[in-house]
Structures are given as structure tokens and as C-alpha cells.
Amino acid sequence: MNPQNAILALVPLAPALYLILPHLSDPVIIITVAISILSFVITALLIPQTKDLNIKANLFGRDLNKGEQGKKMQVPESMGIVPGTTWVVTVCLLQVLVLSISPSNAKTMEWNAGLFSSCFMLFLGFADDVLELRWRYKLILPCLAALPLLTAYHGLTTIVVPKPFRSIIGSIPFLDWLSVTDNSDVIASGVITILELGILYRVYMLLMAIFCSNTINILAGINGLEAGQTFVIACAVLVHNLIELDGEFRDSHLFSLIYIVPFIATTLGLLCHNWYPSQVFVGDTFTYFAGMTLAVVGVLGHFSKTLMLFFIPQWLNFFISVPQLLFLHCPRHRIPKYNEKTKLLESSKNFTLLNAVLEITGPMSEENLCKVMMAIQIVSCAFGFYVRYHLSKLFY
């Protein structure tokens, strides 16, 4: 990554850097930031040292967006194992240091459960890269990895019903028993404000883990896109944590912050080598691990709905992809088409957000396309904040 692109990478991180300044007197945050910087350096240095090992193990891919020359190159695959492993070690170290400052058995249990889910997904993602599992099995992997997260969750299982739907839901007979209100007048009026979902809430958490783990994996195909979108979303999560850090749910957001800061650092270390022109590919190892880690911080940080607002491009890509995923022919690679004459990427007519963007903008270089996608991700996260802190007041 050249210096110009390195500066661009700091754009989504800039708000977090500004918001974290007033909290640098907190020893927990100081320790987290310091060790995370170290994890960035370790990740950035380890990747060049280990990438040849993957090639020797036949874990490499071809850069199809570079024409015939790219098809001849062997690019190390599954390099997400490096930032993933570094992150696991970093979080374990932070657990020892942070819990020595403020010990909590409940926090330790959730911490270990989230760590185990991310670690399990890292392992399963690497297994997928090696075994090349079919798509039907890819839906099962996050279910297995999410089990520790689901069993350790002891938070609320209630949801606040948006105002426009309160009378509608209250008119559905079989939903009456889900209401947690004891006010007979409210029940008689048919207006339900809070629903107790119970086991259904854990089903929602499971579906969210499946979505997060797979959605980053299917919005892929150009250099830097998987790591780039993950980096932007993680920065948005950090900004949200910092905004809410002085609120009533400080402990939950501090937990999320301790998870997400080293995750941002290790992802940035990977992005330095994965940006155009990629020296390494992240593989399913990283995409599954990244998605599960984001799901973990959303669930245990108790802001899963806000997290989904940061996934707007991923939601768009999912809905665009549904026809090919369920009905139409779905080729192994749905990436844009490389034009040997113009050296630009063109739409391949496959149902993806990348091809939709190219249909609107016309052909462009791979690097510029990735920058456009990063801009879309940043704007989408900014819109997510607007919905969370302004439009939400109309519904809650």
C-alpha cells in the first residue's frame, strides 16, 4: 500500500481517533490502544514472512482481474490466518491485563465465549479454504461457531416494538402472550410496546451470525474489498462504542471496544498487503472470522440492530444476489470481466453489487472500483449513524 492509499485508509478511522482522545486517561483504553498498535505491526511484518508457506502448501490463487498475466501468478491464499491468530493472542493478553484491573466473572464468561466463537470460525474458515466446501455447508459453519456465543448470552431477550407497528402487533391474537407489560389497560388497548422473544431472540442472534459471516464472503472479487469493507465497518463500530461509552451501558460498550480496537489494527495490517495490487488473498479464513467477530461485538455489546445499519451495502449485495443464489445459474466466480484491451473491469452481468456499480459508472480500473466501494461503505455507515441517532426517534 503506497503512502497515498495509507492516508485514505485513515479516513474511516479519523472520527474514532478524535472521539477516543477524551478517554485516553482510562488505563483500560490506554492498554488496549497500545497493545493493538503492537498487533498491527506484528501482523504487517508476519504476512510477508509466512506467505511462502501457503504457496508451498498449495494454498494460492490466481488474480483473475489482471488478465493473462494475473492468471499465471501464484498469490498466497488464506492469509487471514495471520491477522486472525494475532487478534486471538492480543485479546487473550488484553483479557489478562484488563480483568486484573476490573475483575468480573460474568465478563470473563462472555469474553471467553466470544473469543471461542471467533477462534472457532477462524479454524472453520481455514478448513473451508483447504477443503473447498460447497455452499450448502458454508451455512452450517457459522451455526457451529455461534453455539458458545448463544449459550453464554445472558442479556435481555426483549425488543421494543417500533411505534407504527405497536397497534398492528397488538391486534394479532397469538402475539398477546409475548407482551411483557403488566398494565391491563395497555393490554386491553391492543398496543404492545415490548415483546419478550425468549428463545426466538437466540434464533435471531444465530441468523445474524450466519448473515455477518457469509455476507462479507459474497461481497468480494477485487483486491482489497473484503478487508476494506471489514475495516470500515469495524471503525463504525468503534465510533459507536466511543459515543455510548459514557452512557448507562458503559460496560457492554467497553467490552466491545476492547474486542474491536485490536481487530481494526490486525485488519489494517492485512489490508496493507491485500490492497491493489494484492500480494496476498485473505481467503474464507478471514471473511468468516471477520463476520463472526463483528457479530460477537454486536451481540455481547447489545447493539445488534445498530450493527445491521452498518451492513447496508452487504444487504444490497445479498438482495441483488438472491436470484442467482436460489434460482438462476450461479457460476463459481461472479466477479467483473477484465478487458485485455482497455485494462479496465466491465460488468459481467452477474447479480452482484460490484457489477451493478459498473453498470451505472461504466468500466473502471480495479483500484478505482475498490475505492468507490469503500466510499459507498463509508457513506452507508454515516447514514446508519443518522438513522440510529435521528430517525430512530420517530419510531421509538
Residue 193: per-residue pLDDT: 75
Please name which of 24, 4, 8, 34 lies closest in space to residue 235, comparing C-alpha atoms. 8
Which of 143-147, 349-353, 389-393 is the least confident region?
389-393
Question: Distance between CA 350 and CA 67 in Å, rounded?
Answer: 19
pLDDT band at 187 (very low <50, low <70, confident <90, very high): very low
pLDDT tens digit sequence for 72-87: 788 999 999 999 999 9
Residue 118: per-residue pLDDT: 94
Over residues 44-53, the mean pLDDT reads 94
Over residues 195-205, the mean pLDDT reads 85
Task: Specify the higher pLDDT residue, 108 or 296.
Answer: 296
Please name which of 312, 280, 271 lies closest in space to residue 8, comparing C-alpha atoms. 271
pLDDT band at 180 (very low <50, low <70, confident <90, very high): low
pLDDT band at 236 (very low <50, low <70, confident <90, very high): very high
Over residues 363-381, the mean pLDDT reads 95
pLDDT band at 306 (very low <50, low <70, confident <90, very high): very high
Tracing cell 471489514 back to the chain, one arrives at 230
Mean pLDDT score of the chain: 86
- Residue pair 40/269 in contact by the 8 Å Cβ criterion: yes
Question: Distance between CA 93 and CA 113 in Å, rounded?
Answer: 16
Partners of residue 196 on adjacent β-strands:
158
Instruction: Give the list of residues 6+ apart from residue 297 with CB closer than 8 angstroms, or none.
Output: 114, 237, 256, 259, 260, 307
C-alpha cell recorded at residue 244 = 455510548
C-alpha cell recorded at residue 227 = 478487508
Share of the chain above pLDDT 70, in %: 88
Residue 106: per-residue pLDDT: 54
C-alpha cell recorded at residue 97 = 491485563
pLDDT tens digit sequence for 342-371: 989 999 888 999 999 999 999 999 999 999
pLDDT tens digit sequence for 259-272: 999 999 999 999 99
Report whether pLDDT(321) > 60: yes
Please name which of 234, 241, 221, 200 lies closest in space to residue 282, comparing C-alpha atoms. 221
Report whether pLDDT(184) > 50: no
Which of 96-110, 116-130, 302-316, 324-338 is the least confident region?
96-110
C-alpha cell recorded at residue 46 = 508476519
Over residues 221-231, the mean pLDDT reads 94
Task: Specify the higher pLDDT residue, 159 or 298.
Answer: 298
Residues in the chain: 396
C-alpha cell recorded at residue 75 = 498469490
Please name which of 356, 224, 70, 218 lies closest in space to residue 348, comparing C-alpha atoms. 356
Report whether pLDDT(174) > 80: no
